[in-house]
Amino acid sequence: MAAISKGTTFATGDQVTALSLNNLVDNSTFASGAVDNTSTQLSSGAIIVKDGGVTTAKLNDGAVTTAKIVDSNVTTAKIADANVTFAKLTDVIDDDTMATASDTTLATSESIKAYVDAAAGGFTPSTYAGEESVTLPNGLIMKFGSQTVGSDSTASVSFSEAFPNSIVQVQLTIETIISLGTDAGLSATSQTTSGFTIQNGSSGTVTISWMAIGY
């Protein structure tokens, strides 16, 4: 079958076959009523586009305008949870080490928590369950506990795990209620990475809260 000439109009009752569509040239049209959407003919409003008519230029950023993606064309069904999968969110990372993080990506809540929980990104342990020691994000280690010390005597404190390098300082606080005017001097002596000694200068037995910082 010869190619249909340019500008050909299909009228009501004309038979449109696959062969005639293959031979269809630019600017041919269908007359009003030629498309019957109650039968197996072309649906009303159908657009015939030849392969050569779909070019890269028509699909580039400049050709995809705001008008073509107006609110009415973006339906709830098209952005339903089932249709918006993780695979389609190319700018969201799930990286527990954050090695692939950038200023243009988001991260999953699981990867953020894993990074913060890790020693390199947060506190260790990440939750408190009675441990003596907590490692801070900058590498400092904080140890704490309590010790009962008799009147005018000393008591040794040994850390459950020694500081790896050095002790920075020790803080002491009396937990026990003492009478006003009582001599209640305290000191932390013989400080090492493994522990220290508490000296209690009061006239009664007291419980001392202590906190040691090192690295």
Residue found under tokens 């695979």: 87
Backbone dihedral angles phi then psi of residue 112, each to the nearest 5 degrees: -65, -45
Helix residue ranges per DSSP H, the chain? 18-22, 56-59, 109-117
List the Cα angle 169/174/179 in 5-degree steps. Answer: 145
pLDDT of 122 reads 67
Strands (E), the chain: 9-10, 29-30, 92-93, 106-107, 133-135, 141-149, 153-158, 167-174, 186-192, 195-200, 206-214
Contact 54, 32 (CB under 8 A): no
Give the pLDDT of residue 97.
Answer: 85
Beta carbons within 8 Å of 121's beta carbon, 6+ residues apart: 98, 115, 137
pLDDT at 203: 83
The pLDDT assigned to 45 comes to: 55
> What pLDDT shows up at residue 75?
79
pLDDT for position 164: 97
Q: For the whole model, what pTM was predicted?
A: 0.47
Q: How much is the pLDDT for 76?
A: 78
Asked if 77 contacts 83 with a C-beta cutoff of 8 angstroms, the reply is yes
pLDDT at 2: 55
Place of tokens 């894993």: 114
What's the pLDDT at 67?
A: 75
Give the CA dihedral 177, 179, 180, 184, nearest 10 degrees. -70
Per-residue pLDDT, 128? 81
Which residue ranges make up each domain of the chain?
1-64, 133-214
- C-alpha 77/C-alpha 90 separation (Å) is 21
Phi, psi of 46 (to 5 degrees): -65, 145
Determine the pLDDT at residue 171: 97
SS3 state of residue 75: coil
- Mean pLDDT for each 10-residue chunk of the chain (215 residues)? 61 64 57 54 56 70 74 76 72 87 89 73 77 91 96 95 97 86 84 97 91 98
- What integer pLDDT is reported at residue 166 of this predicted model? 97
pLDDT of 141 reads: 96
According to CATH, the topology of domain 133-214 is Immunoglobulin-like (2.60.40)
According to the model, what pLDDT value does residue 57 have?
74
**Rounded CA gap, 44 and 187, in Å?**
93
Could you give the CA distance from residue 153 to residue 199 in angstroms, rounded to a whole number? 6
pLDDT of residue 30: 57
